[in-house]
Amino acid sequence: MPKWSTTSTKTSQLRSNNYGRLALHPSSLPAQLQETMINKIKNDPSLQQQISDIVKSNDSNIFVATESIVSLFTPVFQTFSDRLISLEDKIDDLERYNRTWCLRVHGFYEEKNENIIEKITSFTNKQLELELSPTAIENGHRVGPFKYGQNR
């Protein structure tokens, strides 16, 4: 079970686990959602009026009023859902990037419009006698600015 330490911010409660990653801890989500909903009601006169109308029209029947009020917040819930999906996608990309293997190679003569992945696979196949396909390299690039006649 990971150990959590808490870091407070204005809008959320982030926790750092023993892996050094900051994340929203599930126990803080209901409080954040409640705070967001309260702020939305306080700052939106139209929403306040709609809630008032729902409560007045239902003769104190809380169950009917509850369903109507919850339906008013469907767009807010959809926004949270969309944001959550977006954040999960970004986390997946970052985790995938962290799993990549980085290899730095020096001494390749630089040419304009070169295909560095082809150069590296050709070198590994001929000089190192490895059978490496260009599709085995996810990403390849030079580091630093181009300098004519020099290697990077």
Give residue limits of the domains in the chain.
Answer: 44-97, 100-152
Q: What number of other Cβ atoms are within 10 A of residue 114's Cβ? A: 12
**What's the rounded Cα separation, in Å, for the pair 27 and 112?**
55
Is 7's pLDDT higher than 60?
no
Amino acid letter for position 76: V
**What's the rounded Cα separation, in Å, for the pair 134 and 145?**
24
Q: What is the structure's pLDDT at 11? A: 41
**What's the rounded Cα separation, in Å, for the pair 130 and 126?**
7
151 vs 6, residue with greater confidence? 151
Please answer whether residues 52 and 41 qualify as being in contact, where contact means their C-beta atoms are separated by less than 8 angstroms: no
Q: Which of 9-13, 47-51, 97-101 has the lowest mean pLDDT?
A: 9-13
**Structure tokens, 19:** 């892996």
Model pLDDT for residues 89-130, shown as the tens digit of each residue: 999 888 887 777 778 888 888 888 889 999 999 999 999 999
Is 2's pLDDT higher than 50?
no
